[in-house]
Amino acid sequence: MTGTAELPPGCLVLLLRLSAEMETARVTAQAADEGHEDVPAFAAARQLADELVEYLVGLAADGSAGPLDVAVLGYRTGADGAPQLFSLLPAGDTTPRLVPLTQAAGLPAEARGGEGQPRKWAVLPPCEGEPCAADALARVYQMVAVWLTGRFTARPPVVVHCTTPDGLDDAYFRAARSLGLLATGHGPARLLHYVFVPGEGPIPPSAWAAAPRVAPWADLYATSGELPASPDTGHRERRALAVNYWDRFDQWAALFAVSWREDAVEWAGSGGFAESREMWAQKMGNSPEQWEDAYAVDAPGGVAAIADGASTGIYCNIWADQLSKRFLTDRPDTRDPVSLNKWVNGLRSEWRTAIKYSSLNWSKQAKVDQTGAAATLLTLEVGPADAAGGRPWRACAVGDASLFWVRGNRLLATFPVVAADQFGSAPLLVRSNPGFKTLALAAAGTCRPGDRFVLATDAVSARLFKSTAAEPGFDWGRYEQITQDAWRAELDTLRQANDMVNDDCTLVVLRVTGVPPESEEEVPEALPVEEPEVRAGDESAPSGQHEPAAVRDAGVAVRRSEDRGREAPHAPEQEPVITADVRDLMLDIPHDPPADAPAGRPGSRAEPPPAEEPPAARDGFPESTDTRD
């Protein structure tokens, strides 16, 4: 077994736009190791996907890929205008799903005629219909979030999106920012954008010397994942945004260049929230005593939690109240499955004491023993400010209570749900009965003074998603002003009109300490970049290195590439067990970590803590995944 075979689990989603313009738009796409003639955009996207899967299958053959689940997906609208997302792997089953790479390697991929060409791993239907990128990425987020639940020690999930720039709207970039919040101990999920633009030359990620300021390139740049620097190859730290170009080293870096990141933040007592507002309402027709949600907020301490008791359990209001309040006092590291389950186990005996189990009648005792209580849980912690006023934050979710991150009046991102249709009847739960594992999903980011965090249980969250989709400029600030009675009256009106589920409701609004800057950026901070060496239109710029027309017209700088030959780095000689055809396709990319790196994690500097392996990846969300120990 090679060192890289000891890598933690990883997942890869290749997402290909297959709407009509992908066939009509002809581009001159170029891979780092070979040129490509003028081809339809879909053909370039397919070539990229086929080459990457073939490369990974070759790594799997010699055990270098580590545990890796893959999906190759296409999206477009159907004849009825409804969004479609389907698997492109040659398995005969179009259900979108992640499959182990070792299983994908055995699928009947069709051989190409040309020598050294990859097999056809992406089985493409006709390109037709309209693009539906926001819906497709929201569903990919859902798949990735399910896969990542309980796997904080996994590699960062990687999503490779092959697309044109058309139709990438606010909803798409909100889903992209939300994807970038999904956290592992090795860093956030990584989104790679490969954009195909007619009439433009190839632009590698290393060509961007500054963040562009024109749509949609500003958001594409900001939401593209960060690729690490490699001193051995000369690659700089860069955003994974390329135009008419791909380099397998970038893909390799996204999948395999991982390093465990120790959390040195002092989360307790950060003074993170200047203001907080809490509102709640019981289910219509119930008394206030029957409200089974709970919340707890420590604004000076920069921490909050909400919980939603499951209606099928018993004494769920006590369990939800205990979970939310004890999180504030105990501050467990919910990202670590061992720490999380130890904490939950400690609360179980306290719950039985709180419900006075010994004095219950036999029927209630039986329900406690057989069913017990259950609740979803959402937590948020904000850390101390840096010199610029920015604050790290982290969140953890078990189930579908949701967090909305708002800057100014713009919804930046959400967690752990990104669309109204992702709420179901069987979310993950924290259970009071012993023997059940608790599986959580983690998120992390950096907020600014004045940012709002809105935490809401599922019924309120679903309504907020619908409202923001239907009302451009939805007023988030109203929840800091509206009275609780007026809010409850609104809920009853929506319930009576069947515009909202009749369920217990909880809403917590938190404002980050500090005064917002006079001119706020609308998107999260971009990756720091070097000073530009060449400006668009400079005749000294190397051939093929320029921005797309919209960016070029804005005068955004690009880097001079002083070492174009290093785009395809050379690795030391080695003898991987792969076929000659695959070897012909592969760049000379190092399959083993640098000599000074610990085995199993290229470029890593610290070992992650051990963690229990969660159940197999699930294909849907939300879906109950409670499992007995």
Q: Specify the pLDDT at position 491.
A: 96
In a domain, 618, yes or no: no
**Averaged pLDDT of the chain:** 83
Q: Are residues 432 and 543 in the same domain?
A: no
Residue 326's pLDDT band, with cuts at 50, 70 and 90, is very high
Residue 513 near residue 273 (C-beta atoms within 8 A) = yes
**The CATH number of the domain where 491 resides is what?**
3.60.40.10
**DSSP states along 137-157:** HHHHHHHHHHHHTT-TTSPPP
Q: Are residues 581 and 461 in the same domain?
A: no
Q: Are residues 574 and 501 in the same domain?
A: no
Q: Are residues 145 and 71 in the same domain?
A: yes
Domains in the chain: how many in total?
Answer: 2
Q: Are residues 359 and 236 in the same domain?
A: no
Q: Specify the pLDDT at position 594.
A: 33
Domain ends where: 567, 585, 603?
585
Q: Are residues 219 and 312 in the same domain?
A: no
In a domain, 615, yes or no: no
- 219 burial via Cβ count (<10 Å: 0-12, 13-18, 19+): buried
Q: Specify the pLDDT at position 552.
A: 58
Q: Specify the pLDDT at position 522.
A: 47
Mean pLDDT calculated for residue range 273-279: 93
Instruction: Check whether 591 has a pLDDT greater than 70.
Output: no
Which range among 31-35, 54-58, 495-499 shows the weakest confidence by mean pLDDT?
31-35
Provide the residue range defining the domain that includes 359: 274-512
In a domain, 7, yes or no: yes
pLDDT tens digits, 293-318: 999 999 999 999 999 999 889 999 99
Q: Are residues 135 and 254 in the same domain?
A: yes
Residue 67's pLDDT band, with cuts at 50, 70 and 90, is very high
In a domain, 352, yes or no: yes
Q: Are residues 563 and 433 in the same domain?
A: no
Q: Specify the pLDDT at position 266.
A: 84
Instruction: Check whether 588 has a pLDDT greater than 70.
Output: no
* 3-class state of residue 301 by DSSP: coil
**The CATH number of the domain where 554 resides is what?**
3.40.50.410
Instruction: Check whether 619 has a pLDDT greater than 80.
Output: no
In a domain, 517, yes or no: no
Q: What gap in Å lies between CA 461 and CA 464, rounded to an integer?
A: 5
Q: Specify the pLDDT at position 157.
A: 98
Q: Are residues 279 and 131 in the same domain?
A: no
Q: Are residues 335 and 236 in the same domain?
A: no
Residue 556's pLDDT band, with cuts at 50, 70 and 90, is very low
Q: Are residues 496 and 541 in the same domain?
A: no
In a domain, 600, yes or no: no
* Cβ neighbours, 10 Å, residue 522: 13
pLDDT tens digits, 357-385: 999 999 999 999 999 999 999 999 999 98
In a domain, 625, yes or no: no
Domain ends where: 512, 545, 562?
512
Q: Are residues 167 and 300 in the same domain?
A: no
Q: Specify the pLDDT at position 516.
A: 82
Instruction: Check whether 5 has a pLDDT greater than 90.
Output: no
Looking up tokens 């545990």, which residue turns up?
67
**DSSP states along 394-407:** EEEEESS-EEEEEE
In a domain, 590, yes or no: no
pLDDT above 90 coverage of the chain, percent? 68
Q: Specify the pLDDT at position 603.
A: 37
